[in-house]
Amino acid sequence: MASAGAPSFRRGIAAIAALLLCESARAATLGFSDASSDATAAATLAATLSYSLPSTSTLELSLRNDTTGSAPFAISSLYFNTFPDLLYILILGSESSLEGQNTGAWRFICTGDEIVSPGFGTFDHVLRPSASTPAHWIEPGETQRFTFVVSCAGARGCDERILADWSHGANSAVFAARFEDGPDGDAATGAILVPEPGTFALFAVGLAALSAARARRPAARGRRGPRSPRASLRLADPDRR
């Protein structure tokens, strides 16, 4: 397998950080590829994945094909996992920057840790075109967007942790995408890797400290004295979060 070495760990940490620490924005943008499933250079398997949670019951995913004219690939599949508190996920629609609305062109497969991604173990979910032909593969420069309805356990509902899980295998990945129809018919899977366990453990310590600090801030605000009537009137219709 072609791997980016130590820099891939830093990108993996950045990926997990984006997924776990984006509470205010409830969104993240991640770049492929840390690694390739074969001898294909990982740097040529370029794509940008973005996700957002407009509400606690709506997940939006988009995947842009960033491969270049000198080494163009089409993307035929996107693999990902969801965290254990997810109760259900259902695709509502899809839209292409080139084709427009194309919900019927894609199918969402959800089997729970049984979907094999070449080189990167098993995933819970995969998005693939409904037909086996390349008619709806994501072409260079094209962005494909997907909208899901989701439900999660707990009173808080679904939050920024919804995609904070990874594949199960020797080379664990947060996301993987299948790149097809490259130069000379080349095909490979590109992935955003998970950091090594030791590196991730150090990162988790920092994450816990950040979470504790964030939890203390509302309590500190709660100790302030009452506002004057004039101030209360000015703040009677505050902006939404």
Q: Which residues pair with 176 in a beta bridge?
A: 79, 191
Looking at residue 138, the DSSP 8-state letter turns out to be: B
Its pTM stands at 0.73
**Topology (CATH) of 2-195:** Immunoglobulin-like (2.60.40)
For the record, the structure tokens of 111 come out as 């089997």
Q: Edge to edge, what strands does the sheet with 86-96 contain?
A: 27-32, 47-55, 58-65, 143-152, 86-96, 100-101
Other beta carbons within 10 angstroms of residue 17's beta carbon come to 15
SS3 (DSSP) at 37: coil
Domain positions in the chain are 2-195, 198-234
Q: Mind listing the pLDDT tens digit of every residue in the chain (241 residues)?
A: 444 444 444 445 445 555 544 444 478 888 999 999 999 999 999 999 999 999 999 999 999 999 998 999 999 999 999 988 899 999 999 999 999 999 889 999 987 657 888 889 899 999 999 887 788 999 999 999 999 999 999 888 898 888 878 887 777 898 999 999 999 999 999 999 876 554 444 444 454 554 555 556 554 444 444 433 333 223 333 344 3
